[in-house]
């Protein structure tokens, strides 16, 4: 129903910056929340940033003050501006979306994931 495609990953030096993009297609009108998660090698997937339906934004503690999430509704695209990058930021970054809809009185939640883009921070 919804397809997510990430771009912008790559290799960057510590202290550098990188900008990720995620484009949504399909039934984009059904999307409520949209954001980013990441998963480093050998670790669990963690929240990076997400924009909640209504406009509020949540950031993971490890990226507060360094990363900025934004959403362009007209282009169906969400961005992640990453500044002051650290080696610990090295991970696969996944675009994420959530849809919520009522089927009768039953609320259905659907999660969508992109295939991921590799970010490597190294000197």
pLDDT score, position 75:
77
**Assigned token pair, 43:** 């670790």
pLDDT score, position 79:
97
Residue with tokens 């997937």: 45
Q: Are 47 and 37 in contact (CB under 8 A)?
A: yes
Q: Are 93 and 85 in contact (CB under 8 A)?
A: no
| Interacting residues of 51 by C-beta distance below 8 A, sequence separation 6+ | 33, 34, 35, 57, 69, 70, 71, 78
pLDDT score, position 63:
98
**Assigned token pair, 68:** 């900025």
List average pLDDT for each run of 10 residues in the chain, which is 123 residues long. 95 98 92 96 97 93 97 89 98 96 92 97 96
pLDDT score, position 28:
87
pLDDT score, position 65:
97
CA–CA dist 52, 39 (Å, integer):
21
pLDDT score, position 53:
86
């Amino acid at each position: 129903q919804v397809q997510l495609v990430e771009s912008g990953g790559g290799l960057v030096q510590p202290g550098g910056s990188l900008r990720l993009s995620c484009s949504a297609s399909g039934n984009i009108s059904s999307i409520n929340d949209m954001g980013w998660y990441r998963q480093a090698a050998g670790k669990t997937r963690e929240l990076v940033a997400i924009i909640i339906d209504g406009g509020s934004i949540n950031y993971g503690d490890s990226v507060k003050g360094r990363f900025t999430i934004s959403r362009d509704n007209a282009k169906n695209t969400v961005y992640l501006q990453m500044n002051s990058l650290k080696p610990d930021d090295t991970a696969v970054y996944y675009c994420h979306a959530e849809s919520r809809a009522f089927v009768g009185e039953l609320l259905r939640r659907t999660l969508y994931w992109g295939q991921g883009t590799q970010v490597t921070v190294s000197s």
